Amino acid sequence: MIPTSWPCPLPGGGTCEEAALQFDEARPVRLLIVPALFDEANRLRRFAVELMRRLDRLGIDSFLPDLPGCTESLQPLDMQDPTDWLDAMAAAALHFGATHAMGVRGGCLLTPNRLPALHYAPVKGASILRQMIRARILSAREAGREESREQLAALAVSEGVTLSGYSLGADFYRHFEPMIPARDALVIVQEQLGASGLWLRAEPGEDAAQAEALAVILHRELSA
Amino acid sequence: MPDNTDLLLRRILTDVLGLKPGQADQFDEQTGLFGHLPELDSMAVAGLLTELEDRLDIVIDDDEIEGEMLETYGGLLAFAEAKRAG
């Protein structure tokens, strides 16, 4: 596995380098993995890398780019818009010569249109925001403050909002909330992996058997 | 049909807390949750409630979420059973 970088388009023109992990042996199947979003990205990061190691052993190249504003990116998160993320993943797919894309959870909202896509445990934008808003209400309540969902949603679309430590701009919130995964993707549901999803865990965990199960499914689907 | 809320709730907690199979069987009414288990922070509780909604087929309003129901296993079970009974 090699850490690398790729030129990510900037909204105002030009590019900036964003980081990625890659297993690249110039093999015929080259999978772009669009990571899970926000808190789930942390909880699924190790799983994604474990998956890449197994895909490598099965003869599949894979690439895990950072989204601008996330992970190692130097771009400010509160300036991002979901369309920037879509452009970023399309550019990453082109740069790495990906033949297929796989979204993980919220990453399923961002798989490039022009590639055959697989969606692992896809989730809607609204569901992600709903849970993050709930977490904020709970932590505010714990601190003795009352916040309501309506109040937070109004704030989010007028000036942006910080949820679970992630600063989301007003445009981001407005554009992200209605997003749903593309219908033509092949969906891989959690039950196929034989255990519960690692994004549910309160602490980041790992599960070799699940990574293996997903690698085998991907190998079967991508080699067909 | 016997009420399986207890069983489902133990399974959800097993998934969220990453417990070993059978570990959640030892939870009793008084077992402390939110505020007692360091890994169960507000983000984890939000995830737990989302799973409760999905797997028990209920909708939880933010107004309904209060300290008491999250404090102990017994409190959360009573809340879930009441929601399912409609």
DSSP conformational letter for B59: -
Residues of B in contact with A151 (CB under 8 A): none
Residues with pLDDT less than 50, chain A: none
pLDDT tens-place string over residues A38-83: 999 999 999 999 999 999 999 999 999 999 999 999 999 999 999 9
Looking at the complex, does the CB of residue A131 fall below 8 Å from at least one CB of chain B?
yes
Looking at the complex, does the CB of residue A153 fall below 8 Å from at least one CB of chain B?
no
Mutate to test the interface with A, among B10, B42, B76 (most CBs of A within 10 A): B42
Phi and psi at residue A22, to the nearest 5°? -145, 150
Predicted local distance difference test score (pLDDT) of residue B1: 44
Domain extent for B80: 5-16+28-85
Evaluate if residue B2 carries a pLDDT over 70: no
Total domain count, chain B? 1
The reply to whether B75 falls in a domain is: yes
Looking at the complex, does the CB of residue A201 fall below 8 Å from at least one CB of chain B?
yes
Q: How confident is the model at residue B86 (pLDDT cuts 50, 70, 90)?
A: confident
The reply to whether B63 falls in a domain is: yes
Partner-chain residue, chosen from A135, A197, A201, that has the shortest CB–CB distance to B42:
A135
Partner-chain residue, chosen from B16, B37, B45, that has the shortest CB–CB distance to A138:
B45
Predicted local distance difference test score (pLDDT) of residue A69: 97
Total domain count, chain A? 1
Buried residues in A155-194 as b, exposed as e (16+ CB within 10 A): ebeeebbebbebebbbbbbbbbbebebbeebeebebeebe
Residue in chain A lying closest to B51 (CA): A200
DSSP 3-state percent helix, strand, coil across chain B (nearest 5): 60, 0, 35
The reply to whether B23 falls in a domain is: no
Predicted local distance difference test score (pLDDT) of residue A63: 98
Residues of B in contact with A197 (CB under 8 A): 15
Tell me the C-alpha distance between B48 and B36, whole Å: 15
The reply to whether A73 falls in a domain is: yes
**A145: buried, middle or exposed (CB in 10 Å: 19+, 13-18, 0-12)?**
exposed
Domain extent for A190: 2-123+181-223
CA A34 from chain centre, in angstroms, equals 5
Contact A134 B62 (CB under 8 A): yes
- Interface confidence (ipTM) of the complex: 0.84
The reply to whether B43 falls in a domain is: yes
